[in-house]
Structure 1
Amino acid sequence: MTRPPSHTPAGTPPWPGVPAPPRARHARPRTLLLLAGLPLTAFLAWGAAHTISLASSWNTGRGSGMALAWLAAFLLLWWVPVSWLERPKTVTARGQRALDALDVTVQIPVYNEDPHALGACLDSVLRQTRPVQRIRVVDDGSVDTDGSLVTYAAVRAELLARTATPGAPEITWDRTPNRGKRHAQMSVLAHDDGDIFVTLDSDSVLDPDAIAEGLKPFANPQVTSVAGQVLVLNHDANALTRMINLLYLPFTRGLRSAQSVLGRVTINSGTLAFYRADIVRDAAGVYEHETFRGRPMQMNDDSMLTFYGLLAGDTVHQPSSMVFTLAPERPRHYLRQQLRWMRGTTVRHLWWLRYMPAGGIVFWTTVAEYIHILLGLAIPAAILAQPDLRGHLGVLALSGLAIGTVMSYLMALRLFTVRRSDMTTGQNLLLFALAPLAALWRMIILRPMYFYAMATCHRINRWGTRASVEVGL
């Protein structure tokens, strides 16, 4: 059956207490790349060549080894240029008709979410230009700070009232005992007969074209999973959320984009991800009972679902499928989020090295990431440990500072691949100017945290959902 595209009429009243959602679209800033990207790339290439040449010329007996180490460090950043090759997937008219016939189920797990954020999420699903067939909300036993139950009665009533007309999506709203996000998802998806499952976090706010764009890659039968492009909704709340705009870039519009060019995206953020439904249904009973060192894992759910997709076919990123999410506004919440993600990524690295083909892209890019980390430690250690190299420390420090600054600006150019209705050109330019601060934050704060997370990844009993609402809309 072909379903003509439709959406909630423009005259539909706004959801109570929820502001109008922003809009975003993918852009290809060719002029910007010519004016800024090419000079930065040329300087980076000159700086890298100069540093390698300088190291190889040292008459220390170790110069050639140092030059090779620097060369390897540069080559292992392959994903920075490759990310610019990413393009949104498009479809033919025939392919679009096939996509229109798919039954799409959106699943939203909820735990201690701000009611207004949940309302904004549901409202954005109802306003999609490509309607979905089912919305399945599962409240994973939310509780208030005093221990009383949170029912979201007003949100649920509003959702049911808005979907009471013929042709509206089928709605289910379940409440389960608190067992974690995976159990909340599979309590409904294990038995759902949809064709495509869309997983959303409860604070996700979709661009109106997010579903339509996210489905397009499935016109290729080899594609099993699609990641949406994640944007920070509360981008201007404070200095931290402004910085998070930059801190998210290397993954959301860098590594993930490069992986998508190769069809091997390793982590589809739970903020917005699409899966062929049979991939998820086949994982029922296993996915929600994953363990690590004998302990149950409920977090890191998005990378596990992507892992199933990788085993079955291609996983890609659709940069034109936009979703806005609430970022932490307090340092404590942000650092706890990062530590949880880092521990989860460490565990998933072990899974990729164990189960992905040894000759495949995922295996070797994981190896490359660890080699890059080791080089980042080994090069400074070798310089400090050898008296004949310490004499060149100042030159290397200046070269490293210059190259790092240029790299941070090259990555920050990815800011301009998205045009948002809630951000001005001036705001983007200011963020771009501050890019080196984000690089410094990664080096001083996030890199030591990553080493700690790697060493303590077994502490999965500390991974848990929030005890109370952390960010409000």
Structure 2
Amino acid sequence: SDPRLSFILLASNVGKRKAQIAAIRSSSGDLVLNVDSDTILAADVVTKLVLKMHDPAIGAAMGQLIASNRNQTWLTRLIDMEYWLACNEERAAQARFGAVMCCCGPCAMYRRSALTMLLDQYEAQFFRGKPSDFGEDRHLTILMLKAGFRTEYVPDAIAATVVPHSLRPYLRQQLRWARSTFRDTFLAWRLLPELDGYLTLDVIGQNLGPLLLAISSLAALAQLLIDGSIPWWTGLTIAAMTMVRCSVAALRARELRFIGFSLHTPINIFLLLPLKA
């Protein structure tokens, strides 16, 4: 056995949060790396995250996520592009202000001294009167920001993680993440004025965007049912906005495959939005 490694055996499956807390309390280093069991790190990930964490003002940093099973199905290809967009548009923009709003669990490094300050709050989170068992990554990141630490994104620290290959588990995952996003948005609301104004707009956009898309879709459906007329303008507007976003992503990533991410729009409208509602 490697003396550098120690294993913690818990009496039962207590969930991710309590397992994390047990590991953090047993740790002794300056930095703590969180990696999911289905994640494979590039050889230089730890080095690149440690270099970013040299600044003591940084409480957490995450790497870029890709799908390790990208070529398995059409859905895994879409999710891989979705991850690229989430990392290299959303997180990258937030990182310019030192406030990534969610350091994702598959690959995130934390400052241990900051974690020890926050563990009691992290452990004591309740949702609807019960201990919370979802949204750990976002909640811990928000706690870091509330404590005054910066949170960062390191795009060249690559971590490959397994993503859902069929719709049912994907929809369950998205519902769980949506609940976490909406819940912790309220937690972060008082924090936002202390951060850059862009971040306030970003958070509002993340929450209002799906709502406006849902309203547009319902209005189009009502027009079809009541008047019997096809809502061309609504459809064309959504299609145009989709193609603009996908084209920009294809240009930035220099990969034409991102044009195919337009297929995610009907999934969003007809499956994700009704599920989240």
Shared fold (TM-score, shorter chain, > 0.5): yes
Alignment of 1:421-460 (within 5 A): 429=256, 431-451=257-277
**1:71-470 map, 5 Å:** 160=1, 163=2, 170-176=4-10, 177-311=12-146, 312-353=148-189, 355-361=190-196, 362-378=199-215, 393-395=231-233, 397-416=235-254, 429=256, 431-451=257-277
Structure 1 position 344, deviation (Å): 1.5
Gaps of 5+ in 1: 1-159, 165-169, 417-427, 452-473
User: Quick one: distance in 2 between partners of 1:321 and 1:197?
Assistant: 16
Looking at structure 1, the residues matched to 87 and 270 of structure 2 have their Cα atoms a distance apart, in angstroms, of 21
* Separation of aligned partners in 1, 2:200 and 2:241: 28
- 8 Å Cα contact 2:75/2:166 also seen in 1: yes
Q: Distance in 1 between matches of 2:237 and 2:164?
A: 34
Corresponding residue SS for 1:225: strand
* 8 Å Cα contact 1:290/1:297 also seen in 2: yes
- Judged with a 3 Å threshold, the aligned counterparts in structure 2 of structure 1 residues 370 and 342 are, in CA distance, closer, same or farther, namely closer
For 1:359 and 1:281, the matched residues in 2 are separated by: 23
SS at match of 2:6: strand
CA displacement, residues 159-185 of structure 1 (integer Å, 9 cap, x when unaligned): x2xx36xxxxx1111211211111111
Give yes or no for contact 2:182–2:207 (8 Å, CA) kept in 1: no
In 1, the alpha carbon distance for the partners of 2:214 and 2:170 equals 25
Separation in structure 1 between the aligned mates of residue 171 and residue 206 of structure 2, nearest angstrom: 22
User: SS of the counterpart of 1:248?
Assistant: helix
- In 2, distance between residues paired with 1:371 and 1:242? 27
Change (3 A) 1:343 1:210: same
Displacement after TM superposition at 1:379 (Å): 5.3
* Aligned match of 1:93: none
Distance 1:280 1:192 in 2: 11
Alpha-carbon separation, structure 2, partners of 1:347 and 1:175? 31
Q: 1:244/1:314 Cα in 2 relative to 1: closer, same or farther (>3 Å)?
A: same
Q: Is the 8 A contact 1:224 1:314 kept in 2?
A: yes
The 1-side partners of 2:231 and 2:93 are apart by 33
Counterpart CA distance in 1 for 2:104 and 2:175 is 16
Alpha-carbon separation, structure 1, partners of 2:219 and 2:260:
31
Cα offset, 1:340, TM superposition: 1.3
Greater Rg, structure 1 or structure 2? Answer: 1
CA distance in 2, matches of 1:337, 1:234: 16
Residues 341, 414 of structure 1: CA spacing in aligned structure 2 closer, same or farther, 3 A cutoff?
Answer: farther
Any conservation in 2 of the 1:246–1:412 contact (CA below 8 Å)? no
Secondary structure of the residue aligned to 1:175 is coil
Once the 2 structures are TM-superposed, how far is the Cα of residue 265 of structure 1 from its aligned partner?
A: 0.4
Decide whether the 8 Å contact of 1:275 with 1:309 is kept in 2.
no
Hey, which of these two has a bigger chunk of helix by percent?
2
Shift of 1:357: 4.3
Q: Could you tell me how far apart the structure 1 residues matched to 2:251 and 2:270 are?
A: 22
Q: How many residues align?
A: 268
For 1:237 and 1:402, the matched residues in 2 are separated by 29
State the shift of 1:350 in Å: 1.8
Any unmatched runs of 5+ in structure 2? none
Contact preservation (8 Å) 1:352, 1:363: no
d(CA) in 1 for partners of 2:122, 2:56: 23
Q: CA RMSD in A?
A: 2.6
| Distance in structure 1 (CA, Å) of the matches to 2:162 and 2:216 | 38
How far 1:382 sits from its partner (Å)? 7.0
Residue type matched to 2:113 in 1? Answer: D
Give me the whole-angstrom Cα distance separating, in 2, the residues matched to 1:327 and 1:370: 24
Residues 373-414 of structure 1, C-alpha deviations (whole Å, 9 max, x = no match): 4433455667877xxxx9995345434422321222223445
Distance 1:185 1:377 in 2: 37
- Equivalents in 1 of 2:218, 2:176: separation in Å? 29
The alpha-carbon deviation at position 366 of structure 1 amounts to 2.1
